[in-house]
Structure 1
Amino acid sequence: MPVAADLSPRLARCAALLCLVTAALADDGRGLKRGGDPNQVSISGLSSGAAMAVQYAVAHSASVTAVGAVAGPQWGCAGGSVSRAINDCMCGRAALTPTINTARQLAARGAIDKLTLGRPQSLRRAWVFQSPADETVSSRSGEADATFLTAFIGTAPEVDRGNAVDGSDRAGHGIIAPGGSDTCAFDGTETSYVRHCGAEDNAGKMFHTLFGEGSAYNPSDRAGDVPEAELWSFDQKRFIEQAKARGVSVADDYYNPFWFWWPASSARRQNFDMAEKGYIYVPPSCRAVGSACRVHVALHGCKQDARVFASKAGYNNWAERYKVIVVYPAIVPGDPVAGTVCRSPAVDPSLDAAWAEPNPNGCWDWWGYLDTSSQQGRYLTKEAPQMQVLRAIITAVTTSQTN
């Protein structure tokens, strides 16, 4: 009896703790149906995610209000060529030509949202971060992206080049967050591409530019680190299947040795290189029915684990401040190519003629690796496979919670 009496409180405490843990790990069961404000949709990303973010914002400029790009290349720079994407857009080995006319031509023929008097109907704000020391995407390309956004939107984006106080002006390739695990400067040991440069906070400064509405940026508005259990997964595969059901075709991504090295598609390619699940963070004030919060889509970069990006890149710590739901779609990780691409010899243009279009680093499609030879340039339009999936995800998040 004394033993049972002694165990009883302990069992009660354990049961209570188990309930708390279970509650923390479980989402609220609503999936993506969040009733987000369809008139307050924005998008951003890192590296290839930045390229895709700008591509999406340009293609859907009548419904996207703001865009952010961290260490991303110039819009439309690759022109469907992987050698140009690497040699020029990333490594700055040749001068870049303006691409604004391409965007205007696509708008004129309806491949992307039409422009009104030469300007987007909704897209008004942009923010760009580009470290001068980035060896993966040259500052030349980042600056060209800012120039493109100025011409397309009609107002210049806020451009952040880091600062000498915390060393972010010498940061290596990646997104900078106070909780970053990689060193600020490039040292060859990068694993997460979420870098720590003192108090520098890319997500915080981005959100302030996109949503701050004239207020002063205040680093103390950043909430404490959001527990990873508050990051919920969602079924991304169903949106992929919906696009596939519409008959979307894609380029092959490997050679089958059993058929004399004939090009073939992996299961990964058949799913547009996209993962079966993505992630979402819904701040507490946005969980009630009728909250109608902003919606922001954040896209990870090449060689990044989507969940690590979603939990560590810093977006979640600002979501409550700006009343914004943050959605993290995902690409399937590849088998990354070792080394730093811009320290390697230039890519031979003959690679552009290959029938198979691999994506070993798990990048978003910013150079047209999903496009067959008869679909050149589709990757920049609303018909691009990954664009279609992103659009479906946004539609789901902005669907009324009572429907």
Structure 2
Amino acid sequence: MGKSLMLFYLATILIVNASVLQKLPALNIDLVGTTVSGISSGAYMSGQIHVALSSFIKGSAIVAGGPVGCTRGYLMYSTTECMAIPQDLNIKSVDETIDKLNKDKKIDDISNLKGAKSYIFAGLKDTIVFPLNGVHLQDQFNKLGLQLKTVYDIPAEHAYITNSFGNVCDFKGSPYINNCSYNQAYETLNYLYGGQLKDSTKAIDQNLFEFNQQNYFSSFMTSLYSSGYVYIPTNCADGKTKCRLHINFHGCKQSVEVLGKNYITMIGINDVAEANDIIVLYPQIVKSPIFPFNPEGCWDWWGYTEWNSMLAPTGYYNLNSAGLNFLSKDGLQIKSVWKMAQDLAAGNKASQQLEYEQEQEQE
């Protein structure tokens, strides 16, 4: 299918289905080499999915986050050891969490992480996820053998950082995007992709597509919004050009339910993607006051998706652990997002074959 015809086809789907793609297009993506990024709860999710699927994911950019498995499934640790009181973190317990997941084969073998890349950012003035959390993540990833780039010297509050849009650098508040005269989108992706990316160009509005996320989850406990978004650069639309995949996870209070498309369109990733043939997947979370307990629309980094009965949320209040499945390949959110990635890569036979072989090994 020619490029112009493919674009026409996508545009037609949008019109017919009330501007929502019912199925993600099958494009030419090699899933090995996928990269991820995120801020805050999305930063924690980026680390979680990188560790869970390290056979495929070879780079992560973690903005205002902390070590993978930091909460160990306990809500109380999310606001204390993993945010505001990082000096109290039981690092040995976190290491044991990853070791257990690896031993039980709930994640890809951690040996895959050796040589992978991660960019870690902690704003000097972050008063929500204190900068020491980033240092703890650095120590964890060093032990796991990742190559790291750390940025700790920008006087930023809790925010994704740009060089053109957002609040002043040390502002705390919505939309949690701050202008610190630093192009974080380009710096992160350029590092993850080996320092060879072209300069950003102007993203094309028509290349951003909304899709039906309800096709990717069966349980309301997954806490996914009805719609997600994908940016498909012009050169990738025909399915012939081999393109790369990047998955970005918004933070709490940053989903389309809250901000509309401002986060997706203003952080600068699409500009980098258009210039460098990188398809960008933006999965979305929905707010939920009780079942599950996710009132601010955060990604699951403490285990809220694991409670699967009407009585289970009481576990949050008596501080019982939710378990560790949310960190695994079978975690509801990780599994759903990876299914989106698989559908996007369905036009690449090599990726399909590798996924099949992985499934056979698990059986």
* Deviations 1:207-254, CA, capped at 9 Å, x for gaps: 11101x254x88xx1213x2444321111110113xx4xxxxxxxxxx
* Deviations 1:237-274, CA, capped at 9 Å, x for gaps: 10113xx4xxxxxxxxxxxxxxxxxxxxxxxxx25211
**Are 1:180 and 2:180 an aligned pair?**
no
Would the aligned equivalents of 1:87 and 1:94 in 2 still touch at CA under 8 Å? no
Q: For 1:334 and 1:146, locate their aligned partners in 2 and report how far apart those are by CA, in whole Å.
A: 32
Would the aligned equivalents of 2:41 and 2:251 in 1 still touch at CA under 8 Å? yes
Which residues of 2 match residues 176-325 of structure 1 at below 5 A? 176-186=161-171, 188=172, 190-198=173-181, 200-211=182-193, 213-215=194-196, 221-224=199-202, 226-241=203-218, 244=219, 270-306=220-256, 307-325=261-279
* Deviations 1:75-127, CA, capped at 9 Å, x for gaps: 11111111111011111264223223321321121111124xxx216871111
Q: For 1:35 and 1:289, locate their aligned partners in 2 and report how far apart those are by CA, in whole Å.
A: 5
**What's the offset of the Cα at 1:56?**
0.5
**What's the offset of the Cα at 1:315?**
0.5
Letter in 1 for 2:208: L
Would the aligned equivalents of 2:51 and 2:113 in 1 still touch at CA under 8 Å? no
Would the aligned equivalents of 1:133 and 1:170 in 2 still touch at CA under 8 Å? yes
- 54, 67, 70: which one pairs with 1:74? 67
Aligned residue in 2 for 1:363: 298
* Deviations 1:139-189, CA, capped at 9 Å, x for gaps: 11111112212222x134100124xxxxxx211111011232222112x5x
- 92, 102, 110: which one pairs with 2:105? 110
Would the aligned equivalents of 1:298 and 1:329 in 2 still touch at CA under 8 Å? yes
Aligned residue in 1 for 2:117: 125
Would the aligned equivalents of 2:71 and 2:301 in 1 still touch at CA under 8 Å? yes
- Root-mean-square deviation (CA, aligned residues, Å) is 2.7
Aligned residue in 1 for 2:4: none
Q: For 2:24 and 2:70, locate their aligned partners in 1 and report how far apart those are by CA, in whole Å.
A: 36
Aligned residue in 2 for 1:134: 126
Aligned residue in 2 for 1:159: 150
Q: For 2:292 and 2:116, locate their aligned partners in 1 and report how far apart those are by CA, in whole Å.
A: 35
Letter in 2 for 1:281: Y
Range moving further from structure 2, 130-139 or 90-99: 90-99
Would the aligned equivalents of 1:61 and 1:113 in 2 still touch at CA under 8 Å? yes
Aligned residue in 1 for 2:338: 391
Aligned residue in 2 for 1:170: 155
Distance 1:129 1:104, change over 3 A: same
Range moving further from structure 2, 281-290 or 372-381: 372-381
Q: For 1:38 and 1:93, locate their aligned partners in 2 and report how far apart those are by CA, in whole Å.
A: 34
Distance 1:183 1:214, change over 3 A: closer
Letter in 1 for 2:77: R
* Deviations 1:306-361, CA, capped at 9 Å, x for gaps: 322211111001013332100000001457xxxxxxxxxxxxxxxxxxx9762111
Letter in 1 for 2:167: D
- 330, 337, 344: which one pairs with 2:284? 330
**What's the offset of the Cα at 1:305?**
3.0
Distance 1:43 1:108, change over 3 A: same
Would the aligned equivalents of 1:65 and 1:122 in 2 still touch at CA under 8 Å? no
Letter in 1 for 2:303: G
Q: For 1:36 and 1:28, locate their aligned partners in 2 and report how far apart those are by CA, in whole Å.
A: 22
Aligned residue in 1 for 2:58: 65
Q: What is the DSSP-based 3-state SS (H/G/I as helix, E as strand, rest coil) of the residue aligned with 1:157?
A: strand
Q: For 1:364 and 1:65, locate their aligned partners in 2 and report how far apart those are by CA, in whole Å.
A: 21
Q: For 2:108 and 2:348, locate their aligned partners in 1 and report how far apart those are by CA, in whole Å.
A: 27
Aligned residue in 1 for 2:326: 379
**What's the offset of the Cα at 1:33?**
2.0
Aligned residue in 2 for 1:46: 39
Distance 1:97 1:28, change over 3 A: closer
Distance 1:148 1:401, change over 3 A: closer
Please identify the structure whose Cα radius of gyration is greater: 1
Aligned residue in 1 for 2:358: none
Please give the TM-score of this superposition, normalised by the length of structure 1.
0.73
**What's the offset of the Cα at 1:129?**
1.0
Gaps of 5+ in 1: 1-18, 163-168, 245-269, 336-354
Distance 1:158 1:121, change over 3 A: closer
Q: For 1:28 and 1:85, locate their aligned partners in 2 and report how far apart those are by CA, in whole Å.
A: 35
Letter in 1 for 2:243: C
Please give the TM-score of this superposition, normalised by the length of structure 2.
0.80
Q: What is the DSSP-based 3-state SS (H/G/I as helix, E as strand, rest coil) of the residue aligned with 2:279?
A: strand
Would the aligned equivalents of 1:37 and 1:294 in 2 still touch at CA under 8 Å? yes
Would the aligned equivalents of 2:39 and 2:62 in 1 still touch at CA under 8 Å? yes
Letter in 1 for 2:33: Q
